[in-house]
Structure 1
């Protein structure tokens, strides 16, 4: 007979101490970041307007109204955790695309939550999805089967299933993440499209899109182990790794600037650079298995400095995703976690975070045998 009841299992003193500390933190953090609680772990999140679509470990996608933080619809049909979610617009309406441990990519009708198409081809977990909004729209999927697949999305305009037009097996380990950037000339015309992919060995590969095919350019070195998240910006390529570091590789590839690295105390799972606005400075946010959000001055990081971060507590498990939500023109940061919550933070809350406030433990006084006997005599009288 098996049980999950910890009271019936053998636990060491360290187990008991960790469990006690966890319960205290859960209590202290229960209101920080105005948490929206869901039924499973948050693995990915995409925002469109004032709504979010959440990829959950509980085999579903959740559509959330961000103004009220209420669930509007659930998209059920996967037979494993949903690792990634993206949106794609068609004449028939917005479509939700999701990748899962069940090795499939599913395309959903946003209004009815019905599955329109199931894309098969990967032989292991689908780890990430990336839409390339080019004249011919493409979908890039990455997988634990060590492959990349490029799908032509144009058939979706007629409500037909996308077609796989390229399969690449250059990585030697599961491919964890992908990102892209479109380079333009002074007139704004597209000149090049670069794509980057990363794997669980720490290898990042750079590709160029030519005639709707990915052409390998180079390997980007720097991390010692799994790179779970990468993001391309106008300035360069950001990466977050399980080697407890983030890195920044400046654009273009021939730039004389050296890569920048910042060490953390734990695995880094996500990052988010925020440009300066009229109400806030430029910031860099990172998060991972130490459960805190780390807030750095972005300009200092890009200048090669290693500033001490502001630590923002709140989550009680690994922080898996960071996203920017523009609420009425103001920046709001959403953080999703394996603790089953999505928390939202204003910039002032990140720069001046509220501390964890633990309840004071009440002291208990144990009576000696003589005191217990005297008390019993008094009670009898």
Structure 2
């Protein structure tokens, strides 16, 4: 039987939810990782040079100067959370996608909205710039290909099933799309044909990174997998204690961000966990790497940076070992906890 709290302030919360809340409160900080506090939750991150571009749940995106930690420009105009972003034209143009079903084109220097692209009928979840085109993935189950100059939608890619497109990636010839049905589809960008489907994950695929003939994918099934893009073979599986939301590759490491608030650094060659970075106190959904510096953005409303040097990775592990271990058992299965959470969400909507 599910245990539900009866204390005022904790009505309709399971023991597991209360315990998790206590754990987050204990981890609360805006100091670890040279944290920059944001106004709202970070949903996407792109770091280039001295700037970090962040898409936020507060209906806007912003550019932060990493040398001063100051916000230099705010891109405001969407009518819903901004979920994704991309740069083009020598970093002079910013593209953003939103829950308001639109894509906006911005002047990076002035912050002016230059155009609004309409066509999707549900949330825009992912954007990627390839050549002269912007590709957008949506909860409406389609991928749209937009000409960046004419702003016309020149092609619509759609799988046979009706599931949300969660993420996009590309190499020199192909587009890769991860969806909520656990599948990754490989599209020929010239013909618009789906030429292969990768099926090893158990549920939603949240992030894809492609380098040469390798593809790294992160999933709600608590794993990260490395695929050969030609054969579809998986040669590496990295197992996590919770959903994996983000990936960055900085050889010899692959770095993962998870719903358990942790960042993990893995050795690519051996598949072994090298270091665990703790500092965030909510889901780590955004990662990017510049040189030997890792940038992470989270639902805890922060942007943080971490050194990836050998000495720093060792220090993260030593710091983790010094932290006291807390009891987290609740007697509930994970499935029971999620079922109750869904019931509570439903009751809130009524």
State the TM-score bracket (shorter-chain normalisation): 0.7 to 0.9
Structure-2 change in CA distance of 1:32 and 1:169 (3 Å): same
1:122 is the counterpart of 2:120: yes
Shift of 1:288: 1.0
Which of the residues 169, 177, 198 maps onto 1:179? 169
Query: What secondary structure sits across from 2:170 in the alignment?
Result: strand
State the alpha-carbon separation in 1 of the partners of residues 162 and 102 from structure 2: 21
Partner of 2:41: 41
Q: 2:315 aligns with which of 349, 352, 359?
A: 352
Establish whether residue 316 from structure 1 lines up as the match of residue 311 from structure 2: no
Q: Structure 1 residue 31: deviation in Å?
A: 2.1
1:271 is matched with which residue? Answer: 247
Contact 1:86 1:96 in 2 (8 A): yes
Corresponding residue number in structure 1 for 2:332: none
TM-score normalised according to structure 1 size: 0.77
Deviations 1:92-130 (A, max 9, x none): x81111000000000111222121100000000000001
C-alpha separation in 1, matches of 2:69 and 2:149: 34
Cα deviation digits, residues 171-214 of structure 1 (max 9, x gap): 520001111111xxxxxxxxxx011111001011111122xx42
* Residue in structure 1 matched with residue 270 of structure 2 by the alignment: 300
Residues 324-335 of structure 1 aligned to structure 2 (within 5 Å): 324-326=289-291, 331-335=292-296
For residues 63-116 of structure 1, the C-alpha deviation after alignment (integer angstroms, 9 at most, x for no partner) is: 1001121111111100100000111117xx811110000000001112221211
The CA distance in 1 between the partners of 2:126 and 2:280, in whole Å, is 24
Provide the rounded CA distance (Å) in 1 between the counterparts of 2:157 and 2:217.
22
Structure 2 SS opposite 1:168: strand
Q: Which of 127, 133, 140 lines up with 1:138 in the alignment?
A: 133
Task: Give secondary structure in 2 for the equivalent of 1:316.
Answer: coil
2:314 and 2:246 map into 1 onto residues whose CA distance is 19
Q: Quick check: 1:24–1:358 contact (8 Å CA) kept in 2?
A: no
> 2:61: which partner in 1?
61
Q: Which structure 2 residues correspond to residues 357-368 of structure 1 after superposition, within 5 A?
A: none
Structure-2 separation of matches of 1:142 and 1:13: 35
TM-score between both structures, scaled by the size of structure 2: 0.83
Conserved in 2, the CA contact under 8 Å of 1:25 and 1:358?
Answer: no
Residue aligning to 2:84:
84
The change in CA–CA distance for 1:19 and 1:180 in structure 2 (over 3 A counts) is closer
What's the counterpart of residue 147 of structure 1? 142
Aligned counterparts of 1:264 and 1:18: Cα–Cα separation in 2: 17
Mapped contact 2:94–2:107 kept (Cα < 8 A): yes
Report the number of matched residues.
Answer: 311
* Deviations 1:340-378 (CA, angstroms, capped at 9, x unpaired): 01110011333421626779xxxxxxxxxxxxxxxxxxx
CA spacing shift, 1:19–1:45, aligned 2, 3 Å: closer
The change in CA–CA distance for 1:260 and 1:17 in structure 2 (over 3 A counts) is closer
Q: What is the aligned partner in structure 2 of residue 73 from structure 1? A: 73
Greater Cα shift, 229-238 or 54-63: 229-238
Given that residues 100 and 127 in structure 1 are in contact (C-alpha distance below 8 angstroms), is that contact kept between their aligned partners in structure 2?
yes
Change (3 A) 1:19 1:140: closer
Distance verdict in 2 for CA 1:22–1:114, change over 3 Å: same
Q: Provide the residue aligned with 1:106 in structure 2.
A: 104
Structure 1 pair 19–228 and aligned structure 2 pair: CA distance change class (3 A): closer
C-alpha root-mean-square deviation of aligned residues, in Å?
2.1
Q: Report the 3-state secondary structure (helix = DSSP H, G, I; strand = E; otherwise coil) of the residue aligned with 2:92.
A: strand
Structure with greater Cα Rg: 1
**Aligned counterpart in structure 1 of residue 27 of structure 2, from 21, 25, 28:** 25
Alpha carbons 1:203, 1:219 under 8 Å: kept: yes
